[in-house]
Structure 1
Amino acid sequence: MRTKKVIMNLMSNIMLQIVTAAINFILPRLFMTTYGSASNGLISSIKQFLSYLKIIEAGVGNASIAALYKPLSLRDKEQINGILSATNHFYRRSGIIFTMLVALLAIFYPLVVGDEVNPRTALYLVLILGISGMWEYFFIGKYLVLLTADQKSYVIFRIQVILLIASTILAITFITLGFSIVVVIAWSSVLLLLDIVFLRRYVKIKYCYFNIRVKPDTQAIKAKWDALIHQIASLVVFNTPFILITIFLGLAEVSVFTVYNMVFNAVTLFVSAFSGAMLAAFGDILVKEDRDELHKYFQQFETVFYAAVAFCYTCTAILILPFMTIYTAGVEDVNYIRPWLAMLFVIVGVANTIRIPSNTLINAAGHFRETKNRAIIEAVINLVSSIIFVQFLGVEGVLIGGLCSYAYRTCDLILYTSKEILKNSALHTVKKITRNMILAFIAASPFAFFIELHITGAGTWLIAAICVSLWTITIVFLGNFFLEPKMMRAIWDHVKRTITNT
């Protein structure tokens, strides 16, 4: 049953990432060509500022999910409702503070961007984009926590897919009809708020005992303050680039960073779908203290995950610049074709992504307090180095700053997980990473040294992408199979049994 839920979560998450990636390719291109690079940068910049405001969530979500694993496993309905009642209580309190902060941001943000865009447009967009954050705190947060902890994230993903597609169709229609960017963002954002209808209905049917009017069990989510430290650190690490580029380099450079980040974020989200599907499963295993099962699942998870990383980033490294040439054709207000920036994005993407399995296990185990100081160190390294390098190297400097922090934290996470949770040697993980890096180099070598891709348009790029993908997946799959045949057969047998029994 656990494996079935993992596969359902995985497939639904992959579908969501594919849809999200497609939308993230379509809309920015339309924004750049219709409203200009500054407007595209404006939207991305506002979203990152709003992400910083979400620190007032205070780690409630992660702490609540970790706290729910045991009562859900034991079917303790009283404790489940107590935790969800506490979650709802803290979310509403956070929502009030978030609303006030959004109002303040709407007043002061136009001063940050200066005269690059209309101040009134900036104010309206802050308020509109801030609504989704308020919505989560006041209405849907408790449902998201419950379904995630109960290994039913696929329900959330499927609802999001439907609403994202509908919202995008509406946005494209309004852009075609010549509406302003404020109207486009407003109506497409409102449509996404319909998730409350579907989530509330599903929970009411499947969890007939659901009741948040009971006494809040605030003690059960006492780890929220430690989870908050991780949340703040993550915001600094992953959102600092947009903030620094907005302040030091301007909205046009934000747009450049956003377009590249769009591609690599899609890759990361696709690969992360594996970890998202496994999070609750690991939580369930850890609660039951099944050490052998944990080792088996994690070893298989790492094997598949690192192979997926090798495949995705090899294809991206080969195809990114031809894609950028086609994607930004006709946009001449800023230069988007930057080979060094593309190369740094690949390196930073790999350095960040290979730590995801270890980070997933730490979150599932609820080791927020034990690792919070390490997260703080990473955030400090990232912030200080990014501020220094952006002064001299521009956008590339921000990426180098991120690489400095990843060099520390990725190694730290792998070592911590091996020593404190798995109780084994980190060499198992290091071998998998090294093996797949070598396979990635072998797959990329022909295109780096011998084969030159002659891409003239979207059609030839698609053909090239298919050929590159088939070549890369063959090298990565065969390489892993020959170098670790026992593990690959075990994974394949596991998948076949699950499909047969579904």
Structure 2
Amino acid sequence: MRTKKVLLNLLSNVLLQIVSAAINFILPRLFMTTYGSASNGLISSIKQFLSYLKIVEAGVGSASIAALYKPLSLGDKDQINGILSATNHFYRRSGIIFTVLVAILAIFYPFVVGDEVNPRTAFYMVLILGISGMWEYFFIGKYLVLLTADQKNYVIFRIQTILLIASTLLSLMLIMLGFSIIVVIASSSVLLLLDILFLRRYVKKKYSYFNIKVEPNTRATKAKWDALIHQIASLVVFNTPFILITLFLGLAEVSVFTVYSLVFNAVTLFVSAFSGAMLAAFGDILVKEDRDGLQKYFQHFEYVFFAVVAFCYTCTAILFLPFITIYTMGVEDVDYIRPWLATLFVMVGVANTIRIPSNTLVNAAGHFRETKNRAIIEAVINLVTSIIFVQFFGIEGVLIGALCSYAYRTWDLILYTSKEILKQSALVTVKKITRNTILAFSAATPFIFFMELPITGVGSWLVAAICVSLWTIAIVLLGNFIFEPKMMRDILVHVKRAISND
């Protein structure tokens, strides 16, 4: 049953990421060609500022999900409702604070961007993009927490996929009809708010005991303050680039960073789909204190995960710049073709994703307090080095700062989870990373050093992408099978068993 839920979550999340990636490539291109690079940069910049305001969530979501694993496993309905009642209480309080902060940001943000865009456009855009955050705090947060903890993320993913497609079709229609960017973003954002109808109906049908009017169990979510530290640190690490580029380099450079980020965010989200599918499963194993089962599942998870990382980033390294060349064709208000920037993005992407398995396990175990100081150190390293290097190297300097912090935190997470949670040597993980790194270089070498792909347009790029993908997946799969054939067979048996029990 656990494996079946993991597969459902994984497949639904992968579909969502594929749809999101396709949409994230289509809309920014249209924004750049229709409204200009500054407008595209404006949207990305505002989203990052709003992400900082979400610290008012105070770690409630992560703490509540971790607290729900045990009562869901035991079927303790009173405890479940008590935790969800507390979650709803904290979310509503956070929502009020978030709304006030969005209003303040809307007033002052136009002064940050100066004359690059119309101040009124900047003002309204902050309010429009802030609606989704308010919506989550006031209406849907409790449902997302419950379904995530109960390994039913696939319900959330399916709803988001349908609404995302509908929202994008509406945006395309409005752009073709010549509406302003404010009308386009506002209309599509409102359509996405329909998720409340589907989530509420599903929860009421599947969880007949659901009741958030009971006495809140605030003690169960006491870890929220430690989770908040992690949340703040993550915001600094992952959102600092956009903020610094906005402040020091301007919205046109934000647009460059956004276009590059589109590709790597798509890759990261695709890879992260595997960790999201496993989060609640690990939580279920941990509350049952199944140490052998935990080690076994985690080793299987790492085996698949690092192979996927090797495949994705090898293909990305080879195909990335040709894609950017085609994608930005006709956009001449800023230079988008920057090989050194592309190289740094690949390095940062790999450094970030290889720590995802360990980070997933820390979250599943609820080890927020134990690791908060380490998260703070990473945030400080990232912020200080990024501020220094952006002065000398521009966008590239921000990525160098990210590499400095990832070099510390990725290794730290691997050591911590190996010693404190898995009770095994970190070499088990290091060997998998090393093996897949060698396989990735082996697959990339012919294309980087000996062969130039004949890419001249979309068609030739797609043909090249298929060829590179088939070559890379063959090398990665064969290499992993040669070194650990038994583990691959075990994974295939688990998958086959889960499908046959459908």
Q: TM-score, normalised by structure 1?
A: 1.00
* TM superposition shift of 1:498: 1.2
Aligned partner of 2:435: which letter? R
Match of 1:158 in 2: 158
CA distance in 2, matches of 1:446, 1:497: 38
Runs of 4+, deviation exceeding 4 Å: none
* TM superposition shift of 1:138: 0.1
Match of 1:424, SS state, is coil
* TM superposition shift of 1:278: 0.1
Q: Which runs of 5+ in 1 are unaligned?
A: none
Match of 1:183 in 2: 183
Deviation string, structure 1 residues 317-351 (Cα, Å, up to 9, x no partner):
00000000000000000000000000000000000
* TM superposition shift of 1:418: 0.2
CA distance in 2, matches of 1:443, 1:496: 29
Match of 1:71 in 2: 71
CA distance in 1, matches of 2:220, 2:257: 41
1:126 aligned onto 2:126: yes
Aligned partner of 1:453: which letter? L
Match of 1:35 in 2: 35
CA distance in 2, matches of 1:450, 1:131: 51
Match of 1:115 in 2: 115
Task: Write the mapping of 1:478-497 to structure 2, written as runs, cut at 5 A.
Answer: 478-497=478-497
CA distance in 1, matches of 2:77, 2:288: 18
Match of 2:499 in 1: 499
Task: Write the mapping of 1:211-290 to structure 2, written as runs, cut at 5 A.
Answer: 211-290=211-290
Match of 1:466 in 2: 466
Match of 1:139 in 2: 139
Match of 2:313 in 1: 313
* TM superposition shift of 1:492: 1.1
CA distance in 2, matches of 1:285, 1:446: 43
CA distance in 1, matches of 2:338, 2:212: 52
Match of 2:82 in 1: 82
Match of 1:436 in 2: 436
* TM superposition shift of 1:247: 0.1
CA distance in 2, matches of 1:364, 1:82: 20
Deviation string, structure 1 residues 78-100 (Cα, Å, up to 9, x no partner):
00000000000000000000000
CA distance in 1, matches of 2:408, 2:261: 22
Match of 1:202 in 2: 202
CA distance in 1, matches of 2:387, 2:359: 26
Count of residue pairs brought into register by the alignment: 502
Bigger mean CA offset, 388-397 vs 489-498: 489-498
Deviation string, structure 1 residues 440-473 (Cα, Å, up to 9, x no partner):
0000000011110111110110000000000000
CA distance in 2, matches of 1:161, 1:411: 34
* TM superposition shift of 1:316: 0.2
CA distance in 2, matches of 1:449, 1:386: 31
Task: Write the mapping of 1:350-369 to structure 2, written as runs, cut at 5 A.
Answer: 350-369=350-369
Q: TM-score, normalised by structure 2?
A: 1.00
CA distance in 1, matches of 2:93, 2:449: 58
RMSD, aligned CA: 0.3
CA distance in 2, matches of 1:98, 1:228: 15
CA distance in 2, matches of 1:108, 1:208: 46
CA distance in 1, matches of 2:407, 2:160: 34
CA distance in 2, matches of 1:444, 1:248: 35
Aligned partner of 1:62: which letter? S
1:57 aligned onto 2:57: yes
Task: Write the mapping of 1:331-342 to structure 2, written as runs, cut at 5 A.
Answer: 331-342=331-342
CA distance in 1, matches of 2:493, 2:144: 32
* TM superposition shift of 1:500: 1.4
CA distance in 1, matches of 2:454, 2:181: 36
Match of 1:378 in 2: 378
CA distance in 1, matches of 2:104, 2:448: 50
CA distance in 2, matches of 1:421, 1:94: 32
* TM superposition shift of 1:116: 0.2
CA distance in 1, matches of 2:154, 2:486: 30
Aligned partner of 1:456: which letter? T
CA distance in 1, matches of 2:336, 2:322: 11
Aligned partner of 1:170: which letter? L
Match of 1:213, SS state, is coil
Match of 2:117, SS state, is coil
Aligned partner of 2:490: which letter? A
Match of 1:351, SS state, is helix
Match of 2:392 in 1: 392
1:423 aligned onto 2:426: no
* TM superposition shift of 1:496: 1.2
Aligned partner of 1:229: which letter? I
* TM superposition shift of 1:204: 0.4
* TM superposition shift of 1:303: 0.2
* TM superposition shift of 1:180: 0.2
Deviation string, structure 1 residues 199-246 (Cα, Å, up to 9, x no partner):
000000000000000000000000000000000000000000000000
Match of 2:106 in 1: 106
Match of 2:108, SS state, is helix
CA distance in 2, matches of 1:193, 1:389: 40
CA distance in 2, matches of 1:215, 1:14: 38
